[in-house]
Amino acid sequence: MTDSLPEYDWPQLQPGWVWLCGAGPGDPGLLTLHALNALRQADVVIYDALVQEGILDWAPQAEHVYAGKRGGKPSAKQRDISLKLVDLAQAGKKVLRLKGGDPFVFGRGGEEAQTLIQHDVPVRIIPGISAGIGGLAYAGIPVTHRDVNQSVTFVTGHDQTGDAPSSLDWDGIARGSQVIVIYMGMKHIARISADLIKAGRGQDEPVAVVANATTDDQQVLETTLGNVVSDLQGSELEPPAIICVGRSVQMRQVLDWQGQLNGIAPRNLDPLGRGKPAENG
Ligand code: SAH
């Protein structure tokens, strides 16, 4: 079963267990080996909307159950998903719960794991590459760069009710974090960009919107805080998308490696103006 996996003491998915696993942002190649090991063993895979269906082909023996829900709303439904996992485990299935990106990053993985443990169902957590890091990397944007930021803030663009999150201290974030990575931000981008500008961020600050990151449909919009709303309206970009605010976006001018694969030359070899590497040591 684990034939084509490298030599390693791979854990066995036992009946009655749930493995809560990140599927990465899209590209199936970004799965972890633990995720692949899980796919090979599961009786049932419960997957979210953001999991690329091609990944499920790697679990042909398993039943595939879609548990998608998009948008902010139904927390009751979330409870149903958690309880379904409990039922399957208690029925003696080997359960793989597969979630987009990393299960513990804006993915309610913590809630699901908690419910399972409260019901005495044993769990294993398998982290995944989160869209806010790996998705930006596929757009040629390093989430940290030593000339830009010593910290990065990951925020969600909406709260449990689907509204723009009112509990977020946008002033604090705007002042404290050179780079801001926004998940689920498309719906409320007008409000979010206005709040950031009000809190002192520049109209001309670079912004990138990366839609369907790491998939064949990846699209990237480079814009500014002042123009992001109108530029998005004039574009075809749709969620899921990651929005990155900060100067690291400029690094895409040199690091758009996917564009380079398609023969597009770098626009600027030194977008942050740090000079040749040799001069900087
Ligand atoms: N657990 C996931 C995030 C789930 S929240 C993770 O770690 O990546 C859902 C949000 O994630 C989307 O609204 C979007 O902002 C982001 N997202 C997930 N997959 C994405 C993708 N392929 N491209 C762009 N954004 C993505």
Q: Domains plus CATH for the chain?
A: 18-129 (3.40.1010.10), 132-261 (3.30.950.10)
Per residue in 203-212, pLDDT (tens digit) is: 999 999 999 9
What stretch of H or E contains 97?
A: strand 95-99
Q: How far apart are CA 111 and CA 64, in angstroms?
A: 22
Give 11's DSSP letter. Answer: P
Of the chain, the percentage scoring pLDDT greater than 70 comes to: 94
Q: What is the pLDDT of residue 133?
A: 98
37 pLDDT exceeds 80? Answer: yes
17 pLDDT exceeds 80? Answer: yes
Adjacency order of strands within the sheet including 219-224: 152-156, 179-183, 241-245, 206-211, 219-224
Q: What is the pLDDT of residue 278?
A: 59
**Pocket lining: 25 vs ligand 1, CB cutoff 6 Å:** yes
Which one is catalytic: 69, 84, 159, 195?
Answer: 69
Q: What is the pLDDT of residue 281?
A: 46
Q: How far apart are CA 44 and CA 85, in angstroms?
A: 10
**Pocket lining: 133 vs ligand 1, CB cutoff 6 Å:** no
- pTM for this predicted structure: 0.94
Rounded to an integer, the average pLDDT of 14-21 is 98
CB 182 within 8 A of CB 143: no
Residue 99 falls in the annotated catalytic set? no
- Confidence band for 4, pLDDT divided at 50, 70 and 90: confident
Question: Which pair of structure tokens corresponds to residue 249?
Answer: 């976006």
Rounded to an integer, the average pLDDT of 209-236 is 97
Q: How far apart are CA 143 and CA 16, in angstroms?
A: 38
Per residue in 179-214, pLDDT (tens digit) is: 999 999 999 999 999 999 999 999 999 999 999 999
Q: How far apart are CA 109 and CA 217, in angstroms?
A: 26
Q: How far apart are CA 119 and CA 129, in angstroms?
A: 28
Residues across the chain: 281
Q: How far apart are CA 133 and CA 32, in angstroms?
A: 15
Q: Which of 185, 178, 193 is closest to 230 using CA atoms? A: 193
275 pLDDT exceeds 70? Answer: yes
From the DSSP assignment, how many helices (H) and strands (E) are in the chain? Answer: 11, 10
Rounded to an integer, the average pLDDT of 59-73 is 80
73 pLDDT exceeds 50? Answer: no
Cβ-Cβ contacts under 8 Å for 82 (sequence gap 6 or more): 111, 112, 115, 116
Give the number of other CB atoms < 10 A from CB of residue 53.
10
Q: What is the pLDDT of residue 279?
A: 55
274 pLDDT exceeds 60? Answer: yes
Give residue 24's identity as a one-letter amino acid code: G
Residue 48 falls in the annotated catalytic set? yes
Q: Which atom of ligand 1 is nearest to the CA of 212?
A: 23
- Confidence band for 70, pLDDT divided at 50, 70 and 90: low
- Give 15 or 166, the one with higher predicted confidence: 15
Q: Which of 72, 121, 115, 70 is closest to 95 using CA atoms? A: 121
Q: What is the pLDDT of residue 36?
A: 97
Mean residue pLDDT of the chain comes to 93
DSSP bridge pairs for 116: none
**Pocket lining: 184 vs ligand 1, CB cutoff 6 Å:** yes
Q: What is the pLDDT of residue 276?
A: 66
**Pocket lining: 134 vs ligand 1, CB cutoff 6 Å:** no
Residue 171 falls in the annotated catalytic set? no
271 pLDDT exceeds 60? Answer: yes
74 pLDDT exceeds 70? Answer: no
